[in-house]
Each structure stands twice: as structure tokens, then as C-alpha cells.
Amino acid sequence: MRCLTLANVLRLRGHQCTFVCVQHAGNMITAIKMAGFQVHLLAARHGQYQINEQEPNNYAQWLGCSQHEDAKQTKNILAFNNQPSLESLGMKPDWLVVDSYALNQQWQNQFTGFGIKIFVIDDLADRLHQCDLLLDQTFGRAALDYRHLVPVKSEILAGVDYCLLRPEFLQHRRINNDVSRTGLQVNNKYQILITLGGIDEHNVTERILTIFNQLSLLNTRFVVVLGVNSPWQARIKTLAVKLNIAVTVHVGVNNMAALMSQCDFAIGAAGSTTWERCCVGLPSALLAIADNQEFALSVLANEGIVAKFDLGTLEEDIKSFFYDKNKDEIISTLTAHCKRLVDGAGCRRVVDKMESMHAL
């Protein structure tokens, strides 16, 4: 999603973008094509790839092949051979944007010397990169965290000032400027958004709904958003009908900003959607459903920008939060803090940097 968001803004600036993808489970190839972008597919990969000593990266297995083989296939598409390619069509790229935890400098080194600038998107700060530009949009992240991981000449964009958000989140931020959320009131109608990422591997959504079904939150509606690749679609839709609470289920939405602006509180994963919620001023309680979300969630919670729920104590955390006599004040504070964090102009800043570096 980060690359698709970036590509849409680049296209608005008059640039042409093409995607190179592997058809892994949960891929976004259909969404990319529907957005009007050309997609080149790398060779299908089957079975488990065994990580060797030269690839200590914990995510390397995701590729389904070695980084060298993946780079070779990508180079074949980009042109560096005699077959029909982007270069032979007069489309040699100026930038190669890389967004994969499985790739590091071993892959990126294969593209040096071709006159292409390399832009890495990361949020782990745990491996070496050979790049011209690196982005980590995590709150609390600093350029210093990557200085020892990239060449001296590399530019580093770090922190939420560079969040890659679609333009509609900035639009709904402006729409919501005069809207004051004062917190959940049991006697008023409020909508609680529940979104646990595209897959929600462990079906945390069902756990949350089941817990709320036991509470006495009057006149409260729950808006559930599932990814188009979620394996729980049928199960959650069936559950929603059986529960004693009002639940609306959406799948693969293209109006997330509008949905967020209509809700009063959110429970979600501490992934990239965090910055979308902050931009529109939607107060949230977040969970880390993946290891790479722990850092951001810890910093955000410590700064009072989000409430933190833990998977191990989820029922206790939800009850404690929603039965807290000071919840109105807490939610009002969360709203003010989260909205100050993200202004929605991050993608513009990133594209500005790409254009200025290309002009040099």
C-alpha cells in the first residue's frame, strides 16, 4: 500500500510508475492494476527457501528464492539484457523504489552502475542498504537510526512528517477541523471502528467483537473493516448477525478516510493505518499484531498519542478502558495529541525530495 500511495502522487505530478511484484499470498496486484498501473510479475515461487549464512535477514525466506535470483529476474524486466523490456521501450526508470523486509544491500548492489537511483522504504532499521534515499515513516524514528546502515551519501527521511498517506486523508482532516470528539458517552450514539490489517492472521477481530458483546455500551455501533484477502470474511459476517451488538462489516473498502471521519473511536493494529487515523483525528487503542509494530506502539503509547491494548490481556484492557470514569477526558486528549502528530502532507514532501534529487 505504501508504494501504491506513492505511485498515485507521483502520477499526479506527471511521472510514470510501473510495478514489479511476486504473486505471493495476500498480494495487492489486483488493486494496483485497478488503480491503472502496469504490473510486471516475477517468476512464480513454490516451496520454502532455505536461508543461508550470507542472508541472515529473518525475512529472507519471504522471497521464495535468493536475493541474487530475485534481482536477476527484476533486471530482466528492467532491461539489462536483449529481451523486450522497459529500457527497450524507452522507459528506463529514473528511480527504483524497494519496499520489502526480505531485501537488503545484497539485492540493491545488483543495480548500482546503471544510472538508477534507489529508494528504500523500511521501518525495521536492522540491515544494511545500498541506496540513494531511505524512508522510515515511523513515529520516534530518527535519521541517526539508519546512518550506520546506509552509505554516507544517502539521504534519510525519518519520522511521521514523511507518512505516505493518500490525499483523501488530508481532505477529511480539513473537513473534520471543526468537529470536536469529546469521548465516548454511553448514552449517545457512537461508532467504533475495528480494523486489524489486511489479513488479521489470528482473527483478533472476532475476539474484540466477542468481548464487546459482553459489555453494556448502549447505543454503540461497531464498524468492521476487513482486507480483501482476509480469510475471515464469511466467519465475521456470520458472527455479526448472531451478536447482540450492532455490527456493520466492510470488505476491501476504498473510502477508508470517509469511514474514519464518521467514527468516534478506533481499535486497530499499530501498522501504517495508524498514521491515517492520526491524520483525520480519530482517537485509537492499538495492538501490536506483528513484531515490527512493537517499536511504534511503545513510543506512541508512552507519548499519550494512542491507548495500548495487549493481545494477552485484551479483555481486561477493553473493559478497563471503556469502563474508566475518566474515559471522556482520556479520549479527548488522545484526539488532540494524535491530530497534532500527522498533518497529511508527508507524501508531498517525499515526492519533492525525489524530484529534487533527480534534478541534481
What's phi and psi for 197, nearest 5 deg? Answer: 90, 175
What's phi and psi for 118, nearest 5 deg? Answer: -110, 130
When pLDDT is averaged across residues 177-196 and rounded to a whole number, the result is: 66
pLDDT at 183: 43
**What digits encode the pLDDT tens for the residues 55-89?**
556 677 778 889 999 999 999 888 654 445 555 54
Angle between helices 233-242 and 204-212 (to 10 degrees): 0
Confidence of residue 178 (pLDDT cuts 50, 70, 90): low
Whether the Cβ atoms of residue 163 and residue 185 lie closer than 8 Å to each other: no
Average pLDDT, the chain: 89
What's domain 168-341's superfamily in CATH? Glycogen Phosphorylase B; (3.40.50.2000)
Least confident stretch, 25-29, 120-124, 303-307:
25-29
Least confident stretch, 45-54, 229-238, 301-310:
45-54
Does residue 360 surpass a pLDDT of 80?
Answer: no
When pLDDT is averaged across residues 20-35 and rounded to a whole number, the result is: 88
Does residue 136 surpass a pLDDT of 60?
Answer: yes
CA distance 207 to 111: 46
Q: Which cell goes with 12? A: 499526479
CA distance 360 to 349: 17
Whether the Cβ atoms of residue 11 and residue 35 lie closer than 8 Å to each other: no
Q: Are strands 265-269 and 190-195 parallel, antiparallel or unpaired?
A: parallel
Q: How many other C-beta atoms lie within 10 A of the C-beta of residue 197?
A: 22
Q: Which long-range contacts (CB under 8 A, 24 or more apart) does 353-360 make?
A: 353/133, 353/155, 353/157, 354/10, 354/95, 354/119, 354/133, 355/13, 357/117, 357/132, 357/133, 357/155, 358/94, 358/95, 358/117
Specify the CATH architecture of the domain 2-165+345-359. Answer: 3-Layer(aba) Sandwich (3.40)
Domain ranges of the chain: 2-165+345-359, 168-341
Listed residue (149, 125, 151) closest to 136, CA to CA: 125
pLDDT at 184: 41
pLDDT at 85: 53
The percent of residues in the chain predicted with pLDDT above 90, rounded, is 73
Indicate the SS3 state at residue 102: coil
When pLDDT is averaged across residues 311-322 and rounded to a whole number, the result is: 97
CA distance 232 to 253: 16
pLDDT at 236: 98
**What digits encode the pLDDT tens for the residues 205-216?**
999 999 999 998
pLDDT at 200: 95
Confidence of residue 292 (pLDDT cuts 50, 70, 90): confident
More confident residue, 58 or 140: 140
**What digits encode the pLDDT tens for the residues 31-64?**
999 999 999 999 877 655 555 555 556 677 778 8
Does residue 90 surpass a pLDDT of 60?
Answer: no
Least confident stretch, 70-79, 119-128, 155-164:
70-79
pLDDT at 57: 63
Measured in residues, the chain has a length of 360
Domain 2-165+345-359 shares a fold with domain 168-341:
yes
